[in-house]
Amino acid sequence: LADAVEAALRSQAPHLEVIRDGDTVIARTHRGLPQRVVLAGHLDTVPLAGNLPSTRRVREGREELVGRGTCDMKGGVAVMLKLAAEADDAPMDLTWIFYDHEEVAAADNSLTRIAAEHPEYLVGDFAILGEPTSAGVEGGCKGTMKLDVTARGIAAHSGRDWVGDNAIHHLAPVLERL
């Protein structure tokens, strides 16, 4: 997919500098404008985890395609490619980042590597990470958090729960804090 994105940008967007960094493709304008907007989206799909095959279903009167990679960021990538090809006179400089490894640990995400090796690629006054969620815009997302929390209790039958100690109750302060 990175090869196809790179080829599309090189052939359809001559006004952009195109940089290939592993399986990440970066395209930028350099018009010397006072502001820069970064638009980014991932190229990979959800890893295989019992989510095949893709299926069609109807939900709330709409037909949907459900399964690995059916829409995860691909609509956003298509929109960004179209905008990149046409946005040669935007009122600000633009950086487009099509990156790999969004669906895995942050240490493997190419944005983590690029931030360490080429932070200048990520410089901007505003950033939009396109991830389709009901075709809406969500402001202020800060990524994901993964926690391992252990609570201990004493098992009991639901018919005699008072003889046990429900571990989930010990997690109430943790859940309130989160």
Catalytic site positions: 44, 102
Whether 15 and 28 have beta carbons less than 8 Å apart is answered as: no
Query: Which residue type sits at 132?
Result: P
- Using CA atoms, how far residue 15 sits from 53, 61, 77, in Å, is 40, 43, 19
Strand residues in the chain grouped as ranges (E): 17-21, 24-28, 36-42, 55-59, 62-66, 93-99, 126-129
